[in-house]
Amino acid sequence: MISLRSLVRPLVGRSYSIVNKLPSFDHQPQPYDGPTIDEVSKIRTEYLSPALLTYYKKPIMVVEGKMQYVWDETGRRYLDLFGGIVTISVGHCHPKVTKAAIDQLNKLNHTTTIYLNPVVAQFGKELAEKMPGNLKVTYFVNSGSEANDLAMLMARLHTGHMDILALRNAYHGMSQGTHGLTALHTWKYPQMPAIGIHHVLNPDMYRGPFADETPERASERYAWDVKNLIEHSTSGGVAAFIAETIQGVGGTNVPPPGYLKKVYETVRSHGGVCIADEVQTGFGRCGTHYWGFETQGVIPDIITMAKGIGNGAPLAAVTTTPEIAASLKKRIHFNTYGGNPVSAAMGRAVLQVIDEEKLQERCLHLGKKLKDGMIKLQEKHQIIGQVRGEGLMLGLELVKDRAAKTPAPQETAQVFEMLKDMGILIGKGGLYGNVFRIKPPMCISDEDADFLLYGLDKCFSEL
């Protein structure tokens, strides 16, 4: 195992012939006999959307996965520290989740909610048991965008108000409705914006206007902006405030302590409800708590979930109180695939695995190890502007100049490629594309964490 002490030694004269390899892993990938990567690229270029993006100058083709590792068509193994964009929560092809899907497929692969089905009912009950307060009624849908759309609809129906507040730098989806909530110009098309959506200051403790204040003072000033916007840009009554507890696509931004508590009080005093987007932060990933919003000491009125809820299944959910849920009874509400038995069976298995394998505790332990290690690397490498995040939802912002906080997207891209060549896959984000997003399957090992820290150190030193 590579020690943290070795990571901060000077790299001059050190040989990497022995340590420059992935940790051992007992899995033999199946022989690949499909089309070549060039053939797949050509087919994709001709028949799939031209708006699709790929990582890396020479994209890799992933054909197999097992737990925290994936393999390309040549049989090369990669350490997957991005998990299909924070979606593979308990591991690629986890045996218990896979078995649950196969068993259900052999019984029944689809009905709709016009019939009763035990799997989705049991899943709803088990999900409610993970919730605080009176959050006990769930609507199952297929994606995070769809979940946030539904949350917006419920908030407006329940409150009778139209205006919804979101954070600048937020990402909540790409549907017609959630496209309006998303507040990064790199994701917004020049079209008519969604009506009734306002964006307040992002409580950014690195680049925000109050970043130099104490956390307590900063939370007060950022929260004041919410009150000010309500008083000057709405009728005085709002439907909802929605926020990710830790921004994902926006670059792993963490609000100062107390921020959400102050904002929730303001929003509720103006007739609104509070929506927590737990698409990336939920299910134990933050380590200290099962849900991201619990790290801020609040209980929302509506919670949206997706990604890790199904470990890759097209599954998402909206959980709320019985009173807010009743608002949809004014008309017929229906979702063809919401609560699909196979997806629900996988979702139930994910909940069980998180508990049985103590993955929340693993997130706490390895998240601290990685964060401490990256802070040590920050002391050594001037390009690291800030290390941030909680548990296994971590971010590393790269800058050309620490004092000026000048983004370093070119250097970020270069190290990104170097890590891939070492067999390490991570994500990147932030408005300027200069933040590494490290959000792996929650089953990674201490050896995997050591190898990432070693890889970052090596790449920054060679940059």
| pLDDT (tens digit per residue) in 266-283 | 999 999 999 999 999 999
Predicted pLDDT at 19 = 46
Predicted pLDDT at 15 = 32
- C-alpha to C-alpha distance for 295 and 276, rounded to whole angstroms: 12
Confidence class of residue 14 from pLDDT cuts 50, 70 and 90? very low
Per residue in 27-40, pLDDT (tens digit) is 999 999 999 999 99
392 and 366 Cβ atoms separated by less than 8 Å: yes
From residue 299, give the alpha-carbon distance in Å to each of 39, 130, 303, 412, 429.
50, 13, 9, 36, 28
153 and 330 Cβ atoms separated by less than 8 Å: no
Between 339 and 142, residue with greater pLDDT: 142
* Phi, psi for residue 429 in degrees, rounded to 5: -165, -155
Predicted pLDDT at 11 = 37
- For the cut 60, the answer to whether the pLDDT of residue 422 exceeds it is yes
228 and 222 Cβ atoms separated by less than 8 Å: no
Per residue in 364-376, pLDDT (tens digit) is 999 999 999 999 9
Mean pLDDT for 89-96 is 98
- C-alpha to C-alpha distance for 83 and 91, rounded to whole angstroms: 8
CB atoms inside a 10 Å sphere around CB 217:
12
Mean pLDDT for 150-165 is 98
417 and 390 Cβ atoms separated by less than 8 Å: no
Closest CA to 135 of 299, 351, 347: 299
184 and 155 Cβ atoms separated by less than 8 Å: no
396 and 384 Cβ atoms separated by less than 8 Å: yes
Mean pLDDT for 226-234 is 97
Predicted pLDDT at 3 = 43
Three-state SS for the chain is: CCCHHHHCCCCCCCCCCCCCCCCCCCCCCCCCCCCCHHHHHHHHHHHCCCCCCCCCCCCCCEEEEEECEEEECCCCEEEECCHHHHCCCCCECCHHHHHHHHHHHCCCCCCCCCCCCHHHHHHHHHHHCCCCCCCCEEEEECCHHHHHHHHHHHHHHHHCCCCEEEECCCCCCCCCCHHHHCCCHHHCCCCCCCCCEEEECCCCCCCCCCCCCCHHHHHHHHHHHHHHHHHHHCCCCCCEEEEECCCCCCCCCCCCCCHHHHHHHHHHHCCCEEEEECCCCCCCCCCCCCCHHHHHCCCCCEEEECHHHCCCCCCEEEEECHHHHHHHHHCCCCCCCCCCHHHHHHHHHHHHHHHHCCHHHHHHHHHHHHHHHHHHHHHHCCCEEEEEEECCEEEEEEEEECCCCEECHHHHHHHHHHHHHHCEECEEECCCCCEEEECCCCCCCHHHHHHHHHHHHHHHHHC
Confidence class of residue 191 from pLDDT cuts 50, 70 and 90? confident
Predicted pLDDT at 381 = 98
- C-alpha to C-alpha distance for 47 and 171, rounded to whole angstroms: 28
Quick one: how far is CA 376 from the chain centroid? Answer: 25
Of 81-85, 148-152, 190-194, 383-387, least confident by mean pLDDT is 190-194
Of 98-107, 181-190, 201-210, least confident by mean pLDDT is 181-190
Per residue in 29-70, pLDDT (tens digit) is 999 999 999 999 999 999 999 999 899 999 999 999 999 999
Confidence class of residue 20 from pLDDT cuts 50, 70 and 90? low
Sequence ranges of the chain with CATH classification 3.40.640.10: 97-356
Sequence ranges of the chain with CATH classification 3.90.1150.10: 4-80+359-462
Predicted pLDDT at 9 = 38
When the pLDDT of each residue in the chain is averaged and rounded to a whole number, the result is 94
Predicted pLDDT at 192 = 83
442 and 88 Cβ atoms separated by less than 8 Å: no
Cβ partners under 8 Å of residue 30, min gap 6: 64
Amino acid at 174: M
CB atoms inside a 10 Å sphere around CB 193:
11
* Phi, psi for residue 307 in degrees, rounded to 5: 50, -100
- For the cut 90, the answer to whether the pLDDT of residue 194 exceeds it is no
From residue 345, give the alpha-carbon distance in Å to each of 80, 92, 364, 416.
25, 16, 27, 36
Closest CA to 224 of 237, 209, 246: 209
424 and 455 Cβ atoms separated by less than 8 Å: yes
Predicted pLDDT at 237 = 97
120 and 299 Cβ atoms separated by less than 8 Å: no
Domain 4-80+359-462 CATH class label: alpha beta
Predicted pLDDT at 266 = 98
Mean pLDDT for 406-433 is 97
- C-alpha to C-alpha distance for 90 and 79, rounded to whole angstroms: 14
Query: The domain at 97-356 falls in which architecture?
Result: 3-Layer(aba) Sandwich (3.40)
201 and 168 Cβ atoms separated by less than 8 Å: yes
Mean pLDDT for 208-214 is 96
From residue 371, give the alpha-carbon distance in Å to each of 364, 374, 376, 390, 398.
10, 5, 9, 8, 15
